[in-house]
Amino acid sequence: MTTPGEEMHALVRRLYPLCRSITGDGVRATLDVVGEHLPLEVHEVPTGTQVLDWTVPQEWNIREAWIADPSGRRVVDFADSSLHVLGYSVPVSARMPLSELRPHLHTLPDHPKWIPYRTSYYKPDWGFCLTQETLDALPDGEYEVRIDSTLADGHLTYAEHVVPGQVSDEVVVSSHVCHPSLANDNLAGIAVAAFLARSLAERTPYHTYRFLFAPGTIGAITWLARNAGRVERVKHGLVLACAGDRGALTYKRSRRGDAGIDRVMRHVLETSGRPHSIREFTPYGYDERQFCSPGFDLGVGSLSRTPYAGYPEYHTSADDPDFVSPEAMEDTLAVCREVFSVLDRDRRYVNLSPYGEPQLGRRGLYEALGGRSDAQEAQMAMLWVLSLSDGEHGLLEVAERSGLPFDTVAAAADALHGAGLVKV
């Protein structure tokens, strides 16, 4: 029987060869595969659509691309890796000497066996990415260059999956689908998001969860532009990226710094005993900066393992499926599940017997604790909940102030609610 980690890793391997970009058939093919794991509502936004301060660009698609040396041998071939072509390259069919070709070749001299990932989304250009070893071995002479691509009016594609909750208040979970063959910086986040959505659907969560699979930057901006009239429903959010490497978990706070997701994430990570770091917000990174832009100012943080650009393999061919592990993705998934469990149960209660301490024994609440190894802790949790149930303090704050586990505090609130001593 396969584990969730192994299933997520298999999804990463399946998606890895597809050539993704901010638009095009590679995005659609990716969403088709994700759609086999959970139903998606796919949106197509036409080229030229104004989205906030941006405009949806032309759609880019590519069929083949290669460089042939003077002997006719293909020394670089897009068929071998989707990283070999500069993203959004305009079509090219030409012969030229190596001296003329060199300015269009991108390598990583410090990592001569790796292929870099490079793009030119909004400036017409063309180019190839290759290993430094390949470049060093190229002889002088005339080369044939071919890029069979199209830049034409089309659409920007993104998809959503909604897990209905008990209330219409939403939690947005976002992952980007625009990178080509990069396993950690793209695919691991997609896989964790898909399996998280499936996990939440197994119960009826309190919040409504909206999963967004969209191209980075322009995709989030497009979603925000098309949903500006309803973003007040978004009470919390999380961007998932770099979710599968073997590094410790890293959480980047929202722009607010004290949003509900920030407090819950800190509590879960600190009480879990996992190695982790929590970083302050900066207006650079992934799509948290779009959700947190001052006009929207949503409470959206970002969860990763090793942060972007924090590992040498970032944006290179070394970020392949072997770089991510089933265990790391499963751990990221487990943390997300814990965080959303706390977020869903964090309520503000009102004490219905606020004058003095209510008699718990005659309501059978002490007897309910009989035989429990944590009976004293559970009793203290009841007293703390009663003390702070004034409509101003949530259960997470009760757990933080009391030093008690959130699960114990939530169980105490459930017992007190069942006894008619508190109400939401």
Helix (H) or strand (E) holding 289, with range, is helix 288-291
Q: Distance (Å, rounded) from C-alpha 98 to C-alpha 138?
A: 8
Question: How far apart (Å, rounded) are the C-alpha atoms in residues 48 and 26?
Answer: 20
DSSP state of 115: P
315 is in an annotated binding site: yes
Around Cβ 327, how many Cβ atoms within 10 Å?
14
Q: Give how far the C-alpha of residue 17 lies from the chain's centroid of Cα atoms, to the nearest Å.
A: 20
Place of tokens 């993104």: 158
Q: Which residue has tokens 């290993």? A: 131
Provide the token pair at 397.
Answer: 């704050």
Q: Is 110 helix (H, G, I), strand (E, B) or coil?
A: coil
Helix (H) or strand (E) segment spanning residue 66: strand 59-68
DSSP 305-363: SSPTTSSTTTTBTTSSTTTS-HHHHHHHHHHHHHHHHHHHH--EEEESS-SS---SGGG
387 to 206, 356, 363, 392: CA distances (angstroms): 25, 10, 18, 11
The annotation status of 185 as a binding-site residue, yes or no, is yes
Sheet architecture: strand order including 92-97: 74-77, 59-68, 142-152, 92-97
- Decide if 16 contacts 26 (C-beta within 8 A): no
CB 272 within 8 Å of CB 338: yes
Burial of 102 (0-12, 13-18, 19+ CB in 10 A): exposed
Cα separation, 226 vs 421, in Å, equals 44
> Which residues participate in the annotated binding site for Zn(2+)?
179, 185, 315
> Which residues participate in the annotated binding site?
179, 185, 315
